[in-house]
């Protein structure tokens, strides 16, 4: 008998073209839109993709070295020996320090991929989105560094960063790295100034300049390692926008299955098909069980199609199909439990208000606090706790962890949580329905 009820429910569901559009087509469309729109805010899976950075030089290296020579002579005053620019270039090559030591550092290469371009090339690349940030090294970049390194004066330096609007996070990372580099340089400059100001009291000129190299030559590589620490958790795959939104939309749209289910019992009551079933000897409990199974099937259908879409269209590589199937199963029973609970209270209320509130308000609140709209990492920390109050938040976490191939033990917590949701809501729904059936038959309230 249960099979007959289940098949009928399935037929009714499949005949509802509008409903199926919402359940299946909408999440596919939204996943595609959000994935592409926010692709710049996520890394690639499996490895951290280096951020493409274009560097534009507005300076002329040789001219600026000569310019520094003149400034140095003026600064030292008449009668002083000229400086050996060849020696300076050899021992303190600021351009090589920036491009080779800093930007060529192996840790930085994992984060940034730098190309030197002209203004026009950089502008074109930025517009096309092939680079996330354009760093412009201004005129005076070389001469100012030499001045700051070697003379008792400081010239302010301004580096311009232009970012692509889709790559906000990437730009912030690049800016932080450059800030770190120039902070390190500034510390050296301060050390130098202090040394040059205090040194003459105790040391003669030769000794001052003899020790200046030691003051300034603290390895820039050490500074980079101090400031840039790249840490990834071993075994974790990074999430890109396609992966994230295919999961996030799936987690959100399965709530619509609960909403669909939420209307079902009252709908059958109003159509009198439930009464017809009762006259034929069918109990409410059996009707409810069939609808639970129908919702599980609907969730399987929804999630299965979205997983396939993500795999074959968006290129999301799900590592472990068995874990995915298990995650779908637990998510589906939790959603179905919630669905029959809504259905039971909607039937008791004898109007669709509760189902409407769930569909038009609660789903959107859950979508926000569960991370279906935007990753919770960019929201206040409170949301990270709140997500466990949203079924989609738990499902999203489960699938993210499943995608990252977390261990069965780690996933077990989510399975338990979802099972608990299914059991609690289904039990409450069953109690409500049994009481409703009794009151309808007893006629304590006119049904």
Partner 1 sequence: MIIVAENLKKNFGNIQAVDGINLEIPSGQIVGLLGPNGAGKSTTISMISTLYKPSSGKLYFEGKDIIKEPKWIKPHLGYVPQEIALYQSLSGYENLKYFGGLYGLSGVELKKRIDSVSEIIGINDRLKDKVEHYSGGMKRRINIGVALLHNPKVIIMDEPTVGIDPQSRNHILETVKLLNAQGKTVIYTSHYMEEVEAICQNVFIMDHGKIIAAGTQESLIDQSDSQTAIHLKFDAPVKNRMDQFNQIKNVLAVSAVADDEMVILAGSNGNNQKEIISEIMTMAIGLVSFEVTKPNLEQVFLKLTGRGLRD
Q: For partner 1, which is the closer residue by CB, 8 or 139?
A: 8
**Per-residue tokens: 119:** 């203004």
**Per-residue tokens: 81:** 């020996």
Least distance (Å) between residue 334 CB and partner 1: 27
Residue with tokens 């951020």: 51
Q: For partner 1, which is the closer residue by CB, 18 or 381?
A: 18
Q: For partner 1, which is the closer residue by CB, 5 or 418?
A: 5
SS3 call for 117? strand
Least distance (Å) between residue 23 CB and partner 1: 15
Q: Which residues fall within 8 angstroms of residue 313, CB to CB, at 6 or more apart? A: 32
Give start and end residues of each alpha helix (H) in 44-129: 61-76, 85-91, 94-96, 106-109, 119-128
Least distance (Å) between residue 270 CB and partner 1: 9
Q: For partner 1, which is the closer residue by CB, 90 or 442?
A: 442
Residue with tokens 């960019």: 378
CB environment 29-62: b (16+ within 10 A), e (fewer): ebbbebbeebbbbbbbbeeebbbbbbbbbebeee
Closest CA to 432 of 335, 338, 349, 344: 344
Least distance (Å) between residue 437 CB and partner 1: 11
Least distance (Å) between residue 301 CB and partner 1: 17
Least distance (Å) between residue 14 CB and partner 1: 9
The answer to whether residue 21 forms part of the interface with partner 1 (CB under 8 A) is no
For partner 1, the binding residue among 2, 11, 63, 74 (CB under 8 A) is 11
Q: Which residues fall within 8 angstroms of residue 423, CB to CB, at 6 or more apart? A: 337
Within residues 413-442, the interface with partner 1 by CB under 8 A covers: 440-442
Least distance (Å) between residue 429 CB and partner 1: 22
For partner 1, the binding residue among 16, 84, 127, 204 (CB under 8 A) is 16
| Site stretch for partner 1 (CB under 8 A), options 85-93, 149-157, 269-277, 415-423 | 269-277
Rg (alpha carbons) of the chain, rounded to whole number: 33
Q: Rounded distance, CA 353 to CA 267, Å?
A: 13
The answer to whether residue 271 forms part of the interface with partner 1 (CB under 8 A) is yes
Least distance (Å) between residue 447 CB and partner 1: 8
Q: In what order do the strands lie in the sheet with 51-57?
A: 112-117, 51-57, 133-137, 160-163
The answer to whether residue 4 forms part of the interface with partner 1 (CB under 8 A) is yes
Q: For partner 1, which is the closer residue by CB, 16 or 60?
A: 16
Residue with tokens 């559009």: 21
Residue with tokens 């840490």: 231
Residue with tokens 């001052």: 208
SS3 call for 52? strand
Q: For partner 1, which is the closer residue by CB, 4 or 205?
A: 4
Q: For partner 1, which is the closer residue by CB, 277 or 375?
A: 277
- C-alpha torsion sign, points 409, 413, 414, 418: positive
| Site stretch for partner 1 (CB under 8 A), options 4-12, 122-130, 218-226, 308-316 | 4-12
Site residue total, partner 1 (CB under 8 A): 25
Q: For partner 1, which is the closer residue by CB, 30 or 282?
A: 282
Lay out the site mask for partner 1 across 273-302 (x = CB under 8 A, - = otherwise): x-xxxxxxxx--------------------
Q: Rounded distance, CA 258 to CA 429, Å?
A: 13
Q: For partner 1, which is the closer residue by CB, 228 or 287?
A: 287
Least distance (Å) between residue 351 CB and partner 1: 17
Q: Which residues bind partner 1 (CB under 8 A)?
A: 1, 4, 8, 11-12, 15-16, 271-273, 275-282, 440-446
């Amino acid at each position: 008998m249960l099979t007959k009820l289940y098949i009928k429910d399935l037929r009714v569901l499949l005949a509802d073209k509008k409903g199926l559009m919402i359940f299946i087509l909408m999440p596919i469309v939204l996943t595609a839109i959000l994935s592409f729109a926010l692709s710049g805010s996520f890394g690639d899976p499996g490895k951290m993709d280096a951020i493409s950075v274009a560097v534009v030089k507005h300076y002329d290296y040789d001219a600026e070295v000569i310019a520094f020579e003149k400034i140095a002579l003026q600064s030292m005053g008449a009668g002083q020996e000229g400086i050996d620019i060849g020696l300076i270039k050899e021992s303190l090559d600021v351009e090589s320090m920036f491009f080779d030591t800093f930007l060529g550092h192996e840790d930085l290469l994992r984060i940034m991929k730098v190309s030197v371009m002209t203004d026009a090339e950089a502008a074109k690349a930025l517009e096309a989105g092939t680079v996330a940030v354009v760093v412009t090294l201004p005129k005076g970049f070389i001469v100012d560094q030499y001045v700051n390194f070697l003379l008792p004066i400081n010239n302010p330096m301004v580096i311009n960063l232009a970012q692509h609007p889709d790559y906000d996070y990437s730009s912030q990372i690049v800016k932080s790295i450059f800030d770190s580099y120039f902070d390190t340089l500034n510390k050296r400059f301060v050390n130098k100034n202090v040394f040059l100001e205090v040194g003459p009291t105790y040391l003669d000129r030769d000794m001052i300049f003899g020790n200046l190299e030691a003051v300034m030559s603290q390895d820039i590589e050490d500074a980079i390692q101090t400031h840039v620490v790249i840490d990834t958790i071993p075994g974790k795959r990074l999430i890109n926008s396609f992966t994230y939104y295919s999961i996030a939309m799936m987690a959100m749209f399965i709530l619509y299955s609960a909403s669909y289910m939420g209307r079902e019992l009252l709908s059958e009551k109003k159509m009198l098909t439930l009464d017809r079933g009762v006259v034929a000897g069918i109990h409410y409990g059996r009707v409810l069980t069939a609808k639970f199974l129908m919702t599980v099937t609907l969730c399987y259908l929804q999630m299965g199609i979205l997983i396939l879409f993500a795999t074959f269209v968006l290129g999301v590589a799900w590592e472990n199909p068995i874990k995915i199937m298990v995650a779908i199963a637990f998510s589906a029973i939790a959603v179905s439990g919630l669905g029959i609970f809504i259905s039971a209270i909607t039937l008791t209320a004898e109007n669709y208000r509760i189902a409407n509130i769930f569909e038009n308000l609660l789903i959107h609140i859950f979508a926000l606090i569960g991370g279906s709209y935007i990753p919770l990492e960019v929201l206040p920390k409170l949301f990270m706790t709140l997500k466990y109050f949203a079924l989609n938040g738990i499902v999203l976490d489960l699938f993210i962890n499943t995608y990252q191939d977390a261990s069965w033990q780690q996933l077990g917590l989510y399975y338990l949580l979802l099972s608990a949701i299914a059991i609690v809501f289904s039990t409450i729904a069953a109690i409500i329905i049994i009481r409703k059936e009794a009151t309808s038959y007893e006629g304590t309230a006119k049904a």
